Each structure stands twice: as structure tokens, then as C-alpha cells.
Amino acid sequence: QIPEALQAGFTNVVEVAQHPVVTLSWSIINFSRQCLDPGIRGRYFSPRLMEAVIWFLARWVATYLVPLDVSREIDSVGRHGSQHSRKLLNSFAWDNNQGELVLDFVVLMSMVALTTYQGEIELQTLTCQKLLASVVRRKHTCAYVVQLDSWRDLTRAFASGRSLFSLSGRLQRSLAETLACAASCIKDPEASVQYLRDLMGPVAGCLVENASRSDLKSVAHQPDVIYMVSMHVICFKLFEASIMGNNCRSVAYWNG
């Protein structure tokens, strides 16, 4: 929720581009976008800076990407003084399709944080449990993000188990829950089920492949094999629970 002091303040601001909150928001977001450039990221974006950016984006998404009907409700009350400031703060994030662009950037940045900064537990935790969770927590943002190519790339990366398998077990479960919860925001029931099948297919295939290995008895006690199979089983349970309940509550048990 947008802080009351910010909504009631800056009553003299008429243009949205001149509002201090709006100016500061886009300045930080535009700066953060530079991390997608490998050269700039390597020179300037340390893990600690990435943590600060991820934290900001998680708070910003949760605070300013408010449902559009909220801004319309405020607009119907009036346009003067503090009410005008409220209208600006509750609508600026969606102006000119900026909200959708930010959500796309958030997913792209999450992939960078999870694949480029391996071993940075705090950064990966913020990404999985704060930033990506904030995107799917509200249906109006989740409904946008599941349509993005960047989100589909993230789900494929997770399902393939390659680039994201270096995450800890706790973060694997958290990310699996987030991806499964997103299915509840897909309006078409068939598309929602297909989304989950695409997530489950590679996981199920990997389990079958490992169970069919000729050397299963000799490798079954190896720590890396036990870990891999355990993660696949947990993820499979998460996806199955989401299909049965088709909501986030059905898989909340497995997070953490």
C-alpha cells in the first residue's frame, strides 16, 4: 500500500512527471535496467548493488502497481489537492504501458540474478522470495506476467533443471511454488493446465530417466543424485498440488 504521507503530500504538483515519487521511481528503474548489459553489469553491478536493486523493485511492484480499478475509484472522487496527488501515485506506474515493461524487466533481471551471481545466497533469496513472489501475489500483475516471453523463458529454465539447479533446496521449493501459483492467473482453464504440464513434463521425464538407469543401484546413494531426485520429487508435488487446487494456498505448505 502506498504510504499515506506520500498520497496526501505534494499537493502543489500538477504534472505526473514532476512528482518527486514518480521522478525517483523511474530514475532508479532506468538505472537498474543497465544490469541487463553484460559489460555494464560486470563493471558496476556488484552482488550488493544487485541486492539493493532487487529489494527496491520488490517493494515498488508491491506498492505502486496497484489494480487499475483503485485508481479509477480515486479519480471519481475528485482531482484537487491531495486527491490529485493520490490519483497520480495510484496510476503513474501503468501510464503508457510502463507497468508491463517493468514486469518484463523484473523477470529478466531475476534470471540474471539467479544465473549470473551463483553462490550469492542473499541475492538469490531476495529474488525468489521477495521479487518474484511480489509479482504473482496479486492477480492483476500475475495476469500480465504469465503472458510474457521472459516468464516463459524462466519456466523453461526451471523445468529443464540446467541453469537454475545450482539454487539451494529451499530456494528451489520457493521458486517452484511461485511458478506453480502463476497458473491460477491464467484465465483459460486449458491453458492453465497446459502451463503446468509444461512445467511438470521435464521434471517427470527426469525422474523416469533416473529410475531407468542401469547403474541405479550403484549411484542411488550418491549425495548429488539424492539431492537431484529429491528436488524433482518436491517440485512434482508442488505442480501436482497446483493442478488439484489451482491456487497458491494449495502449495503454500511446501514453501520453506
230: region left, alpha or beta (phi > 0 left; psi from -120 to 50 alpha): alpha
CA distance 132 to 179: 9
Query: Over its length of 256 residues, how does the chain's per-residue pLDDT go in tens digits?
Result: 777 887 777 778 788 888 889 999 999 999 999 999 999 999 999 999 999 999 999 999 999 887 755 544 545 444 444 677 778 888 888 887 888 999 999 999 999 999 999 889 999 999 999 999 999 988 889 989 999 999 999 988 887 766 666 788 788 888 888 888 888 888 888 888 788 778 776 666 666 666 676 776 776 676 666 666 666 666 666 666 655 554 454 333 333 3
Q: Which residue has the cell 518527486?
A: 20
Answer yes or no: are the C-beta atoms of 155 and 183 closer than 8 Å: no
Q: How far is CA 65 from CA 60, 91, 126, 168, 190, in A?
A: 7, 8, 19, 30, 28
* Residue 149 confidence (pLDDT): 95
* Residue 250 confidence (pLDDT): 36
CA distance 237 to 243: 10
CA distance 125 to 255: 12
CA distance 141 to 139: 6
**In which element (H, E) is residue 29 found?**
helix 20-32
* Residue 204 confidence (pLDDT): 64
Instruction: Write out the three cell numbers for 170.
Output: 529451499
CA distance 161 to 171: 13
Answer yes or no: are the C-beta atoms of 192 and 146 closer than 8 Å: no
Q: Which residue has the cell 514486469?
A: 103
- Global pTM? 0.79
For the purposes of burial, counting CB atoms within 10 Å of the CB of 143, is it exposed (0-12), middle (13-18) or buried (19 or more)?
middle
Name the amino acid, one letter, at 194: Q
CA distance 175 to 170: 9
